[in-house]
Amino acid sequence: MVPLSVLDLSPITAGGSAGQSLRNSRDLAEHADRFGYKRFWMAEHHNMLGIASAATAVALAFVAENTTKIRIGSGGVMLSNHAPLVIAEQFGTLASLYPDRIDLGVGRAPGTDQATAQALRRTLAGNLDRFPNDVLELISYFRDAEPGQRIRAIPGAVTNVPVWILGSSTYGAQLAAMLGLPYAFASHFAPEQMAQACAIYRAQFRPSEFLDKPYLMLGLNVVAADTDAEAARLFTSIQQSFIRLRTGQPGQLSAPVENLAEQIDPSLRGMLDEVLARSVVGSPQTVALGMARFAQANGADELMITAQIYDHAARLRSFEIAAQSALSATAHQPVSLTT
């Protein structure tokens, strides 16, 4: 079994608060550290009623405080919203506080709607087109200063924070390959171009000072419980979130419901099957088999698993089961791919 990492959106549950969500995220990070996960990443989203991690660097500093080994990072920072120098200073500060434990995953999209994107950066002109140059500028701030360099990231310089390219299309795959950077694909919510993006990344990869061969991380929804039936019930929270998002009614994370499929229009069932196609939901045995099959079938070097679960205790238990399942899969023969 490949290494497992955590992607946390710090979900704000119905009737809950952002403060409680961030405290839950810190608690999850502490447990993930003990469970043996490799990384704990948080994502930048704006104007989203159900996500508390908008100020991603601040949230990461908060969750990192009581962890010791797990790497802390962004999955990701939306670089089009920021000046590269500002992000270099933020993550340089994190790297100074938690040496050799900080990752910086960057994405090209704004992570919000157009009106909010304009409020964030005041202008939409040219920002997306500058993404490759912004990535190169960002990387330069983490190195030692060149002779005559007037602008430095302090903190940031000489921290060599690892930069990842994140994506949900083939664009990021091409850029990560060209720059020789690690690549993370958001297959947990945008699976359509996963196979094509992975193939492009591997085929076009150029060895660099950062990597001598491709390193691919894939997103996967994993909701685990003691039984398949209970896991399926917990999974209805994220299904409800996507229904509201796709119908223009985003909101906080709802409590799970019974028999959701029988309560929604068939077209919405089809949408859920498509957008959440890369999901493993079930008991420890189901989850162990599903994660191993997904990793082997797609040649992932690492899985970034996420679980939008309403009850915090159930979410902790889900990540615990997934970690134990990975250890179980490692201890047995490779899984035969039959699907």
Give the torsion sign (CA, 45, 108, 278, 224).
negative
- C-alpha–C-alpha distance, residues 174 and 164, integer Å: 13
In this predicted structure, what is the pLDDT of residue 334? Answer: 38
pLDDT at 335: 34
In sequence order, the 6+-apart residues with CB closer than 8 A to the CB of 150 are: none
Contact 256, 225 (CB under 8 A): no
> What are the φ and ψ backbone dihedral angles of 15, each rounded to 5 degrees?
85, -5
Question: pTM value?
Answer: 0.92
* Exposed / middle / buried, residue 203 (Cβ in 10 Å: 0-12, 13-18, 19+): exposed
Fold of 4-330: TIM Barrel (3.20.20)
* pLDDT value of residue 240: 96
Residue 129 class from Cβ within 10 Å (0-12 exposed, 13-18 middle, 19+ buried)?
A: exposed
Domain ranges of the chain: 4-330
Distance between CA atoms of residues 297 and 128, nearest Å: 33
What integer pLDDT is reported at residue 128 of this predicted model?
Answer: 57
pLDDT tens track, the chain, 339 positions: 899 999 999 999 999 999 999 999 999 999 999 999 999 999 999 988 999 999 999 999 999 999 999 999 999 899 989 999 999 999 999 999 999 999 999 999 876 777 877 787 755 554 557 899 999 999 999 998 888 888 999 999 999 999 999 999 999 999 999 999 999 999 999 999 999 999 999 999 999 999 999 999 999 999 999 999 999 999 999 999 999 998 888 899 999 999 898 888 888 999 999 999 999 999 999 999 999 999 999 999 999 999 999 999 999 999 999 999 887 655 444 333 322
pLDDT for the residue 339: 23
